[in-house]
Amino acid sequence: MAQVTLTNVKKVYFGGVEAVKGVSLEIPDGGFCVLVGPSGCGKSTLLRMVAGLETITSGDISIGSRVVNQIGPAERDIAMVFQNYALYPHMSVYDNMAYGLRNLGTPRDEIDRRVKEAARILAIEPLLDRRPKQLSGGQRQRVAMGRAIVRKPQVFLFDEPLSNLDAKLRVQMRVEIKKLQRALGVTALYVTHDQVEAMTLSDKLVVMNGGRVEQIGLPAEVYKKPASKFVATFIGSPPMNILDGTIDGPGIVALGDAILEVRDLRQDLAEGTAVEIGLRPEDIEIASEGAAGTLPFDVEFIEELGATQLFHGQLAGLPFVMQAATDTVAAQAGRLWITVDPDRVHVFDKQSGARLGRS
């Protein structure tokens, strides 16, 4: 077990692509850090540099107290779970797990003990003789985990380990991974572009965009105080509604005719500054018509999700979505008047997208 530290790490690929543009990050011993971001933002590149599969263009990576920049993957004391699992198709499950240990020259009975133990933990004991082809997606996932566990590494690296599974299995495996990591107390670095995974798994959530870090924080923090419009719309589903507004005074934004109070807003903004206002669908409340600070929302159609309903429509000429528990709001198209808790209004700079909060 060890902490992982990245200091101003950069990666320029051979062709000149700058995939990672200077990332500093510290994952405490036993911490679970999730990298999330859109496709191509450099998540895998970063992870692979930690694994030693890509060279580091500049900056330092250390695992424990060792700077590992020049150390080969096998010596870094890490284990990695790949998106497509990368199981050796020609080896049995047992051999898949044992392979790394064999390469280290671990004694036979020690290997056997460790493989069996990992298999027990993962409940894949009956599968040990099978080939990867004979396994379901979830089982393969477990084997890939098993391969990582047996080596007793200091750090687990995951590159979208669940994205090949169907929705149900994904939920289940997500919980398992988290439990396992807790139980083993291993430091974990986990890449995903699924924000639900990111939210649920992480102690430390890193949102990346275009090779840079947009925000690092606890998941709840990131959700509640997204540092930028990018983060705000990336995290949360259905995504945050974004509307055009202007500053109308300290802690006040105007949204067309209506006026909204905002708790977290910089004080030094000139009145009339154009801004973007973010409202999460689930933060919308129904108000009585025409009350102060209410907005008119024209509902076009409703999606039934079981526990909740999604109201799709227009607000101030822009598409707008509201989420409400089933039966709390009459499910019919037409105009609704809504309001939002000032604590839950987010304001972003129109140009840079940065959050205009009190800092």
Partner 1 sequence: MMKNAYFSGLTVPLLLLLPQLAITVVFFYWPASQAVWQSFLLQDAFGTSTEFVWFENYAELFKDPGYFKALINTAIFSTFVCILSLSIALLFAVMADRQIRGAEIYKTLLIWPYAVAPAVAGVLWIFMFDPSLGMLARGLASLGVNWNPRLNGNDAMLLVILAATWKQISYNFLFFLAGLQSIPKSVIEAAVIDGARPWRRFWTIVFPLLSPTTFFLLVVNIVYVFFDTFGIIDTVTGGGPSGATETLVYKVYSDGKGGSNLGGSAAQSVVLLVMVIAMTAFQFRFIERRVSY
Partner 2 sequence: MVEDRRLGDAIAYVILTIGVLIVAFPVWLTFVASTWDAATIINGQLPLYPGPKFFENYYRILFIGTSGTTREPVLNMMLNSFVMAMAIALGKIFISVLSAYAIVYYRFPFRMAAFWIIFVTLMLPVEVRIFPTFKVVSDLGMLDTYQGLAVPLIASATGTLLFRQFFMTIPDELLEASRIDGAGPFRFFKDTVIPLSITTIAALFVIQFIYGWNQYLWPLLVTTKDSMQTIVIAIKKMIVTSDALTEWQLAMATAMLAMLPPVLVVVLMQRLFVKGLVETEK
Ligand X SMILES: Nc1ncnc2c1ncn2[C@@H]1O[C@H](COP(=O)(O)OP(=O)(O)OP(=O)(O)O)[C@@H](O)[C@H]1O
Binding site for a second copy (CB under 8 A): 166-168, 171, 175, 178-179, 182, 193-196, 199-200, 219-220, 223, 235-238, 280, 282-283, 301, 303-308, 310, 312, 323, 325-326
Instruction: State which residue, 235 or 258, has the beta carbon closest to a second copy.
Output: 235
Q: How many CB atoms lie within 10 A of CB 268?
A: 8
According to the binding rule CB under 8 A, does residue 130 interact with partner 1?
no
Provide the minimum distance between the beta carbon of 36 and a second copy in the complex, in angstroms, as a whole number. 12
Q: Please state at what angle helix 167-184 crosses helix 137-150, rounded to 10 degrees.
A: 20
- Tell me which of ligand X, a second copy, partner 1, none is bound by residue 323, counting a contact when its beta carbon lies within the kind-specific cut-off of 5 to 8 angstroms: a second copy
Question: Burial of 3 by CB count in 10 Å (0-12 exposed, 13-18 middle, 19+ buried)?
Answer: middle
Cα(316)–Cα(50) distance, integer angstroms: 47
3-state secondary structure of 147: helix
- Tell me which of partner 1, a second copy, ligand X, none is bound by residue 223, counting a contact when its beta carbon lies within the kind-specific cut-off of 5 to 8 angstroms: a second copy
Cα(68)–Cα(51) distance, integer angstroms: 9
Provide the minimum distance between the beta carbon of 239 and partner 1 in the complex, in angstroms, as a whole number. 31
According to the binding rule CB under 8 A, does residue 236 interact with partner 1?
no
Whether the upstream peptide bond of residue 239 has omega within 30° of 0, thus cis, is: no
> Residue numbers of the site for partner 2 (CB under 8 A)?
48, 51-55, 69-74, 78-80, 82-84, 86-91, 99-100, 103-104, 147, 151
Instruction: State which residue, 83 or 172, has the beta carbon closest to partner 2.
Output: 83
Among 25, 34, 45, 119, binds ligand X (CB under 6 A): 45
Provide the minimum distance between the beta carbon of 66 and partner 1 in the complex, in angstroms, as a whole number. 17
Residue where the block lists tokens 């250390």:
62
- The CA dihedral of 295, 296, 302, 306, to the nearest 10 degrees, is 30
Provide the minimum distance between the beta carbon of 79 and partner 1 in the complex, in angstroms, as a whole number. 7
Residue ranges in the chain assigned as alpha helix (H): 43-51, 93-103, 108-122, 137-150, 167-184, 195-201, 219-224, 229-234
